Amino acid sequence: MWLLMPRRAVSSGFFRIQMLLGLGLGVLTALSMSALSSGESNLLPLGVTTTRILCIVLAATAFAGSVMWTLERRRAGLLFAAAVFLDALTLLLYGMSPVNADSDSSTQIMMARSVDVASAGILGTSMTAMLLGHWYLTSPTMSLGVLARLNFYYGISIFTRTVVATLGLVGGWEHLHGGLPLVWLIFRWTAGLIGPAIACYMVTNILKYKNTQSATGVLFGSVILIFIGELLAVLLSRELRYPM
């Protein structure tokens, strides 16, 4: 989202904090590699060492980017942001095997990758929009168009995730036999897709009244709903052996 949002209207401090968040996540992911047992190492197609190196590179790049944004070197900061994006995308697509890694179906593997990208998209846009809403507390004169633009991207990510989830539901329906997975499915759709769509619509209308605090509160609630929905999607994917 950093690469798509209108950056000139946002102070450099916002991007500096975002880079520091990337630094923390990169370090946390690298450390989590040590917790993998020998039986779980096959979940990393690139291998534990290569995956850890990519995480360390991501963290180092994010740190360097935070320095550039602190020094108001916006063009250099943007280049580091692009490097973080490419590193994170590589880890997303090739760092972890899909949930149904035991399947040889290229269709299911492609579906699993689509789920990963769509899930990252909806998590990224919701978190960025919510954090930007909080930034209005320190930069109250910032244009509302920036938050409105991010909310628009948020709506696109919800639509994309809904399409991918629908395709997953069609493909995995034959494996669904009621019981607890059905309950998970209901909550996954209501909390993880319908709820955020309503929140996105509410933010669009709230911004017409220039109330950034209320919009941020709605976005904060939608982030929680999305985390719940994506966690349930992971549970469903593992239970049904089909990406959801």
At 99 the pLDDT is: 52
Paired tokens of 154: 């948020």
Domain boundary among 79, 97, 115: 97
Paired tokens of 201: 């619509």
Residues 30 and 133 in one domain: no
Q: How many domains are there within the chain?
A: 2
Domain hosting 35: range is 1-97
What is the model's pTM? 0.91
For residue 193, the domain's CATH number is 1.20.120
At 51 the pLDDT is: 84
Per-residue pLDDT tens over the stretch 133-146: 999 988 888 889 99
Residues 127 and 89 in one domain: no
Residues 151 and 39 in one domain: no
Paired tokens of 168: 């997953």
Q: How confident is the model at residue 59 (pLDDT cuts 50, 70, 90)?
A: very high
At 103 the pLDDT is: 54
Q: Which residues of 99-113 are buried (b: 16+ CB within 10 A; e: fewer)?
A: bbeeeeeeebbebbe
Domain boundary among 47, 71, 97: 97
Q: How confident is the model at residue 101 (pLDDT cuts 50, 70, 90)?
A: very low
Q: Average of pLDDT values for 29-54?
A: 72
